[in-house]
Amino acid sequence: MRAVITQSNYIPWKGSFDVFDRADVVVLYDDVQYTRRDWRNRNRIKTAQGTKWITVPVKVRGRYSQRIDEVEISDAAWAKSHWGSIEAAYAKAPYFDLYRDRLYNLYQQASKLNMLSPVNHLFLTEISQWLRIDTQFRWSIEFAADGGQTERLVGICQELGATEYLSGPAAKAYLDVDQFAEVGIAVEWMDFSHYPPYQQVHGAFEPAVSVIDVLFNCGDDAPNFVCGRNF
C-alpha cells in the first residue's frame, strides 16, 4: 500500500493530483505549522494579462504560531471574488461550460466555511473525482504517531500499514530515508518532468498554474494531461 502525506494546498497544480492518483491513501498533514506566502491559501490562474494569484484571505495570529488546521478565513467575500476572476480568465476556454456549474457550486459551498483546511479539502476531494481519481483522503490528526519530522511520517505510514511512501523531490533535502528503510517502508520520489503540454487560452503554454486550467482547456481529456498512468 502506497501512502502520501502532504499539507493541504488551495486548488494546486496538476502535479499534486498526479501524486494523489498514484497513492492508495493521502494524509492531509494540516496539524503542523502554517507557512505564509505559500501554497496553502493561494494559487495561480492564467489570464489574458499573464498569470494571476488568487489568494484566500486568512487571519494569522502572531508570527508563524498557528497550525494549518487552526487558520481562519478573514473575509467571507473571498469566494465570490475568486469566482469572478476565474470566470473572466476562462470564459472563452473550450470546456468552460462543462465545468462552470460544478466549480461554481464548489465556491458556493466554500463560501460557507470559515476555516482554511476544510476549504482545501473540499476542492481537493471534489476535483479528484472529476479527474477520476478515487484515492482516499484522511487527516493527520487521526493518527497517534508522534516524534520528529521523519519519525512522525514513518509512524503514520506504519499505522496505515503502508509499504511504500511517495514524496515530492523537495523532501530529499530533509527526509531521513533510513528511518523508513528500518521498518521496511520503501521511499519513492515523484518526478514532475513528464507532463505533456496542452493548448491553453491566452498565449504560450504555462505549466505552473492551478489544475482548473487543465479542466477548462482539456475537458474530459484532462486526466490524460494530469495522471501519470495515462502517459
On whether residue 86 sits in a domain, the answer given is: yes
Looking at the chain, the number of H-run helices and the number of E-run strands are 8, 9
Q: Which residues contact 127 (CB under 8 A, 6 or more apart)?
A: 11, 17, 211, 212, 215
> Residue 72 and residue 104: Cα distance in Å, rounded?
22
Averaged confidence pLDDT in the chain? 95
- Would you state the pLDDT for residue 228? 76
Task: Name the percent of the chain lying above pLDDT 70.
Answer: 97
- The domain in which residue 94 lies consists of 2-142+193-230
Predicted pLDDT of residue 65: 73
- Tell me whether residue 176 is in a domain: no
> How many Å apart are CA 182 and CA 158, to the nearest integer?
12
Q: Letter for the amino acid at 51? A: T
Q: Does 172 map to a domain?
A: no
In a domain, 188, yes or no: no
**Which positions of the chain have pLDDT values less than 70?**
62-64, 229-231
Please check whether residue 100 lies inside any domain of the structure. Answer: yes
Q: Evaluate whether residue 147 is within a structural domain.
A: no
pLDDT of residue 48: 95
pLDDT on residue 61: 76
Taking every pair of Cα atoms in the chain, the longest distance, rounded to a whole number of angstroms, is: 53
**How many other CB atoms are there within 10 angstroms of residue 128's CB atom?**
19
In order of 63, 98, 168, 195, 209, the CA distances from 198 in angstroms are 41, 17, 23, 9, 13
Domain count of the fold of the chain:
1
Would 153 be classed as within a structural domain? no
Distance CA 133, CA 63 (A): 37
> Is residue 77 assigned to a domain?
yes
20-65, pLDDT tens digit by residue? 999 999 999 999 999 988 999 999 999 999 999 999 999 987 666 7
Helix 96-110 vs helix 116-130: angle between axes, to the nearest 10 degrees? 150
